[in-house]
Amino acid sequence: MLNILMSMTKEGASDGPQFVAPAKTSRDTLITTAYRLHRTRWRILEPYRRLKNALKKLQEDYLKSKEANALMRYVKLGQSVREVAMLEKQYWKLLNIPAQEGTEDANCYVVKIIELLEDTPTQLPPTRGIGALLQSTIGKPAEANVDTVLHDSLKARKSEDLVKECEGLYAQLYRLTKKYLGLRRLIKELHDKYEATRMFPIVPRYAMLKKMIKATLRAPEFADICHEQTE
């Protein structure tokens, strides 16, 4: 398992995870650790970008809607919120990652996420027949090539560089996981609010749509990522 990660210091863990390689860590262990950290980060990065892009588009649509009249703006806002809310139902595009428990050490939490995602297969859209077969195989050759390139790149690095790589990846993975969970919470709340207003008349629902969008765009979780570029 993650021998290095499980050997981390506990001091200062409340401020975030710390990567500390044991004195006699083998080069192969460093390569394996860096590889697993990279793979886990990539696994979270795709759904994270999907959520981030959807929320940034919601912000853009909201600002543009101010140029329309009241009726057209109502329609545009409803469409924009619906597009974001639909992500909550598209489970195959997202990851179910548990939140860090109140008493859970940051180091142990990162190790848990790595092991959890390694044991969780990539989910596919609910397609049957030949479509499902194609979706299950079409991406495997490309993914294998990426893995090979990554592994060869890590093998070409010095041990001290691998330690630094692990240090940076460990902090990035923890931070990315926390941001992803924050965006998932925003999407879930927006979805629930949207569904709760679907049967309301236009006038009160118009105000509700504006209110739920403003609440989402003013949330700390969105403020944390609003400066990032759409990818």
Q: What are the pLDDT digits (tens) for 110-120?
A: 989 999 999 88
d(CA 41, CA 173) in angstroms, rounded, equals 6
- Rounded to 5, what percent of the chain is helix, strand, coil? 70, 0, 30
d(CA 19, CA 4) in angstroms, rounded, equals 8
Q: What are the pLDDT digits (tens) for 158-205?
A: 888 888 888 889 889 999 999 999 999 999 999 999 999 999 999 999
pTM of the model: 0.83
Domain ranges of the chain: 24-119+156-224
d(CA 132, CA 92) in angstroms, rounded, equals 13
